[in-house]
A and B are shown apart, each in its own frame.
Chain A
């Protein structure tokens, strides 16, 4: 069935370091891959997304890469800051629904 695996489940980094979160999806028909940041008591907030016809996308300190052949996609955060601390979810989309990964709790220590 449709499944998205996400690693690691927790990630602790020092401020200024980089953080990488990886996801693998199972459904070959997935063509859109968003990343969401969820802060305590809030809903998921879209931070970046990528479509299957693109290999890489960057927005300031955040980048996402997609390897469609291997069904892998990753989130890269450079120069991390304490306010980046949150739970991050990857997702794979078919039309009309998102399948979420299990989440990564990122802690950035000053």
Chain B
């Protein structure tokens, strides 16, 4: 069964550094998402992306965050200057349509030191 894959599984970064999280969505999906989950808390929406542009974003997704689909298969989340509070699990998801089931990857654990 097709699945969403994310790399790396764990990323350790110094505060203030830039980090890029990578995702390969399911191949025939058109909508792409990033969510985050702080340890022990619920999953929070960050951003949705369709047709090469952001379709919706949350308050968390400020100017330090950006997303990109650099080629036909990858979808990336960049944090320009990381803060301690950015430490969390980051999940990528994809779906066929905006109101279709979203399928999640296993996440990247981001640890900011």
Interface residues of A (CB under 8 A from B): 31-32, 34, 36, 41-46, 49, 89, 91, 93, 95-103
Contacts and interface: CB of A to CB of B under 8 A. Distances in A.
B75 interface: no
B91 A101 contact: no
A96 B98 contact: yes
Interface stretch (B65-73, B77-85, B99-107): B99-107
Contact of B99 (A31, A41, A44, A101): A31
B42 A98 contact: no
B56 interface: yes
B31 A96 contact: yes
A46 B106 contact: no
A43 B107 CA distance: 6
Nearest to A31: B99
B53 to A, nearest CB: 12
Contacts of A41: 106
Contacts of B50: 96
Contacts of B42: 89, 100-103
Contacts of A103: 42
A56 B106 CA distance: 29
A49 B105 CA distance: 18
B91 A44 contact: yes
B110 to A, nearest CB: 14
Nearest to B3: A43
Interface string B31-43: 1010100000111
Contacts of B56: 96-97
Contacts of B107: 42-43
B18 interface: no
Contact of A99 (B45, B48, B91, B102): B45
29 contacts: A34-B101, A34-B102, A36-B104, A43-B91, A43-B105, A43-B107, A44-B43, A44-B104, A45-B104, A46-B101, A49-B101, A89-B42, A95-B98, A96-B50, A96-B55, A96-B56, A96-B98, A97-B33, A97-B45, A97-B48, A97-B58, A98-B33, A98-B45, A98-B102, A99-B45, A100-B45, A101-B42, A102-B42, A103-B42
